[in-house]
Structure 1
Amino acid sequence: MATKIPVVLAGATGKTGKEVGRAIAQAQDMELIGAVGHSHVGMALSDLWSEPGLSVVIRGAVDTIDVPYAVLVDFTEPTSAYSRILEATARGWDLVVGTTGFSPLQLDAIHDRVQHQQNGAVLIANFSLGAWIMERLAQDASRYLDQAEVIEAHAATKRDRPSGTAKRMARLLADGWGRSVEDIPVHSIRLPGMVAHQAVIFGSSGQTLTLRHDVHDRSAYAAGVLAAIRRVHEFRGKVVQNLGDVIVPD
């Protein structure tokens, strides 16, 4: 029998972490060996998630999980995630990160650390298949239409604004047009009742073209995260930021 991939989940008490964690626990080729959360420390996931049989106990920090290797899956916030990522890379762990809001200096430091330590790392703002398809459609549209604005909306609890997904979209459009990313307007909405929504509106004489993607349930991220966990060890010394590099065979 093949060895299961050991996974440590940071953000186990969050809404996205819960959905991703359940998918990891149910995957036949993975083993959820540790969980980190900012609340409910000491509680078993079987109680928190109402998932009988999950004996993993929530820890307050990743340094309390003493294993030689794991894939750290992080869906938290950038301040705590940054130090956790550096610690995990120093221990030889690989990374699958959906946390957004890192500063350019933090991102540069993560890239340098991954390259130096030869870890595998997947840092993607949005692990949903629809978001990746939307990026491809927007890049195709931008070949013919050269004016666009980005609108993103998330739950009121999301701290970073604009979202990492929207900033990536603006960067892709700016690079395609040879412009500064500051030239691409991005509008942010934070309201109760929302999960994750994004639209790119292209304008031309007498017409507009709107591309829109909506996540109504955080389970939309699970398939992309599982694919990243399975392949991250292949990306030695690299930080992968395009979901297509994970889900599309070479």
Structure 2
Amino acid sequence: MPNTQPIPVVLAGATGKTGSAVGKAVWDAHDMELAAAVARRHRGVSLGLLWGIPELTVTLTADLTEIDRDYAVLVDFTEPESAYPRLVEAISRGWDIVVGTTGFSRREREHLAELVESRQVGAAVIANFSLGAWVAERLAIEASRYLGQVEVIEGHHQTKKDRPSGTAKRMAELLADAMGRDVDSIPVHSIRLPGMVAHQAVVFGSSGQLITIRHDVHDRSAYAAGVLAAIRQVHTFRGRVVNDLGEILDPGRLRPDGP
């Protein structure tokens, strides 16, 4: 794909809260083309009408079979049940994928990785695309070198289906790896309440003291910069799945040793 051409993006989940925030950022990006959008319940509706952008003429489709593109980056912020077959189809077409959807089974993740390697496409499958979440991961890994007792608390809006969140699962996995423990030994607590967007605290305890590393997302625009960076770089990840946002944002000199 020539570097001088806008990157064609197909957005799945365009009518969701996160999908729409990410999609508007794609629409505004000078080096990207919002080529198509998928939202099954709004098939045939103008996306510009839903977003209040009259000059946006993309019409929503029900699935990828209605999209005639040799290449695109599929950006998916939906639910695992609908996302999985769509991702399989996109990879089979030779498209790269950027995925913020969470809740896939281990077997589904393994199968997607196998397909990515087989088709030699790029994949960024990341639980949380915000810079703050990545920084919190690095801080927690550093703290785990000195404090051995830790628990994770995460909270989301009441409509979020997966529990615990993908972000919390990843945090527990990173801590377990850093501390040489089984992931099941890291307690994770979930809260689902109206008024929440996305919140996580990692609490370390030691004699007479606590350390809390907390990250709060109050607006879904927090994910946009990470997603745009992933879209721009995903084609370079041929044959592999990237799960660490640090590989994309790559403030390398600031990154401590560790996973």
Quickly name the TM-score band, shorter chain normalised. over 0.9
SS of match in other structure, 2:40: coil
How far apart are residue 249 of structure 1 and its match?
Answer: 6.4
- Which residue of structure 1 lines up, in the alignment, with residue 73 of structure 2? 71
1:38 Cα deviation after fit: 2.8
TM-score normalised by length of structure 1: 0.98
Partner letter of residue 245 of structure 2?
Answer: L
Task: Report the alpha carbon displacement of residue 137 of structure 1 after superposing the two structures with TM.
Answer: 0.3
Aligned to 1:29: 31
Q: Give distance in 2, aligned partners of 1:48 and 1:171.
A: 38
Aligned AA for 2:73? Answer: V
Q: Distance in 2 between matches of 1:141 and 1:218?
A: 28
Pair 1:183–1:249, CA change in 2 (3 A): closer
Taking the TM superposition and a 5 Å limit, the aligned residue runs for 1:1-250 are: 2-248=4-250
The alignment of Structure 1 onto Structure 2 pairs a total of residues equal to: 250
Alpha-carbon distance in structure 2 between the residues aligned to 1:57 and 1:125: 28
State the SS of the aligned residue for 1:236. coil
Residues in 2 aligned to 1:181 and 1:249: alpha-carbon distance in whole angstroms: 27
Aligned residue in 1 for 2:256: none
Gaps of at least 5 residues in structure 2 are: 253-259
Residues 126-166 of structure 1: CA distance to partner in whole angstroms, max 9, x if unpaired?
00000000000000000000110000000001000000000
The 2-side partners of 1:105 and 1:2 are apart by 38
For 1:29 and 1:206, locate their aligned partners in 2 and report how far apart those are by CA, in whole Å. 53
Q: 1: CA distance between counterparts of 2:227 and 2:122?
A: 14
Q: Deviations over 1:187-213 (max 9, x none)?
A: 000011110000000001110000000
**2: CA distance, partners of 1:237 / 1:37:** 28
CA distance in 1, matches of 2:99, 2:138: 21
Q: Is the 8 A contact 1:13 1:39 kept in 2?
A: no
SS of alignment partner, residue 11 of structure 2? strand
Which string of whole-angstrom CA distances, capped at 9 and with x for unpartnered residues, describes residues 81-107 of structure 1? 000000000000000000000000000
The alpha-carbon deviation at position 247 of structure 1 amounts to: 0.9
Q: Distance in 2 between matches of 1:142 and 1:245?
A: 21
How far residue 10 of structure 1 moved from its aligned partner, in angstroms, is 0.2
> Per-residue deviation at 1:63?
1.5
What SS class does the counterpart of residue 6 from structure 1 fall into? strand
In structure 1, what is the Cα distance between the partners aligned to 2:161 and 2:238? 31
Post-superposition offset of 1:39:
1.9
CA–CA separation in structure 1 for the residues paired with 2:65 and 2:218: 34
Separation in 2 of the partners of 1:138 and 1:48? 40
Aligned AA (1:133): V
Structure 2 counterpart SS, 1:57: coil
Question: For the Cα contact (< 8 Å) 1:4–1:31, is it kept in 2?
Answer: yes
Aligned to 2:255: none
Whole-angstrom distance in 1 between the partners of 2:110 and 2:104:
10
TM-score (norm 2): 0.95
SS of residue in 1 equivalent to 2:41: coil
Q: In structure 2, what is the Cα distance between the partners aligned to 1:23 and 1:149?
A: 34
Q: CA RMSD in A?
A: 1.0
SS in 2 for 1:200: strand
- Identity among equivalent positions (%) equals 65
1:45 Cα deviation (Å)?
1.1
| Secondary structure of residue in 2 paired with 1:197 | strand
**In structure 2, distance between residues paired with 1:225 and 1:38:** 22
